[in-house]
Structure 1
């Protein structure tokens, strides 16, 4: 989550006017910025209600998707942790689509470095909890998820389509050795048919450490289902691989009774590189040089780590 929240000068009266229609009893309650991502800004209302406002069409699409999916998840699937339960959706007063509000999900949002400072990835219970969350998520019927708006994700088609832009825009920003490594990993992933022999599965799509909310040493919430899709279930390990580490993912798989294979490790290595490479492209497209530069630093650090293995 991006902590530096940028809002238009007149955001507060517009948001309060919109809230008067959906939560009139809280129209004048304390309201402050909480955080921001690439696609949404979040506010905290009365210390208890998260208000999320899309900044662009992707954010609007994610709110609409969550409004369809989350009630079904909450009603029929026990993830073992709390998830957002929308109180309302209504026309967005400062951007496209609809904005939403839901009771604050219990727990802290912690950056990866704070997870490690607390020793959370090393705790046996943490891996067990994550394993249970993933199993419960992946049990949600893919067909039902599709009918509720979770798109089918053809990973091979998408990553093959991204490769030309990566060659043109990202490789020139790397050293020749870094570029060769990235290209070899990318082409290796696309060229292995076994990487795409998965059963299409409902996935969260963004199980990063800052979306797993923590109370003490326990995971108590899971947020941000805006990237949910039907695709490769292994993808839900990708951010954990990059942020919590390979040993953590091995322990998660052991709790799930699933094998940890060389092929899985290679897939996760690829996704750990592809994610910041695509963020470089996004930053360049959006003319946000700080985002592109930050993603490039992450990519180069991960390429260096890959070279050391």
Structure 2
């Protein structure tokens, strides 16, 4: 969650009223905004013995994510070597649809990409190994059990095939002609190569970025933000680390996993690096958020420049 928390009027008495009904000991404790994403907004609650995160879905997609996490995370937590969110409770959402969740804050500090580089954390010998272990543990979770718990499966070929007409109609007109041609060509190369879609699907975090890996000093101490968890291409769990780190780091990470950073994987990662801001542009257009649209266009123009 990186955007400013946008809270509705009179949010605090509504939240405190629900807390009073489910956890009276928390109802009068200090509350403060933590941040917001497209699908949810989060508060921090300071209790006597712990600090809690309260996450409130903004729409039906966010509500479905929290319900899914409530089923999956208790089983997944026991398979990972670091803490992840463990819901203390869920309760009816006073600020929107579905239920909100409350969990003790996961230990560690969330750092942005610049801080990871400035602190030299990517050069620490244990960092790539630890991230590799986390990815492998998530991917090892039984796929059939994930399906039973309601984790949806994503077909990236179908998703980006459906997306391509919107790219032509809505994104291409916003780009310089040469960059627009390169973007369409990237989609066509990715979608036209059958080898990009042969990996057996696994459970994936699907939002594995540096700011979701919590750290204390040089140690990774937690992993957060499982709202996008899916069953899909295991390579997708590298798609945010690729632009945020560097090829050398991803190569080391792959070596710890007993795998290679080969030309095919690099091609997929370079495509997903483009597809992410495309999604932001389309989201910004669809939801009337010109700042999100324009940030996506700016990033695409930079990535597609010769």
TM-score interval, normalised by the smaller of the two chains:
over 0.9
Aligned partner of 2:200 in structure 1 is 199
User: Which secondary structure does the structure 2 equivalent of 1:299 belong to?
Assistant: helix
Among 52, 55, 76, the alignment partner of 1:73 is 76
State the SS of the aligned residue for 1:258: coil
- Aligned residue in 2 for 1:28: 28
Q: Which residue of 2 aligns with 1:211?
A: 212
Shift of 1:122: 2.1
SS in 2 for 1:25: helix
TM-score, normalised via structure 1 length: 0.96
5+ long unaligned stretches in structure 2:
none
Structure 2 distance, partners of 1:260, 1:247, is: 9
Contact 1:166 1:278 survives alignment (8 Å): no
Matched residue of 1:105: which SS? coil
> 1:255-266 residue pairs with structure 2 within 5 A?
255-266=256-267
Moved over 4 A (4+): none
**1:190 to 2:172 alignment:** no
Rounded Cα–Cα distance in structure 2 between residues aligned with 1:245 and 1:147: 36
CA distance in 1, matches of 2:89, 2:175: 46
* Partner SS, residue 53 of structure 2: strand
In structure 1, runs of 5+ residues without a counterpart are none
Is 1:140 paired with 2:141?
A: yes
Distance 1:237 1:260 in 2: 11
State the superposition RMSD in angstroms: 1.0
- Corresponding residue for residue 233 of structure 2: 232
1:283–1:292 CA contact under 8 A, matched in 2? yes
Equivalent positions of 1:91-240 (< 5 A) are 91-240=92-241
State the match for 2:57 in structure 1: 54
How many positions carry a matched residue from both structures?
303
Deviation at 1:123, TM superposition (A): 1.8
TM-score by length of 2: 0.97
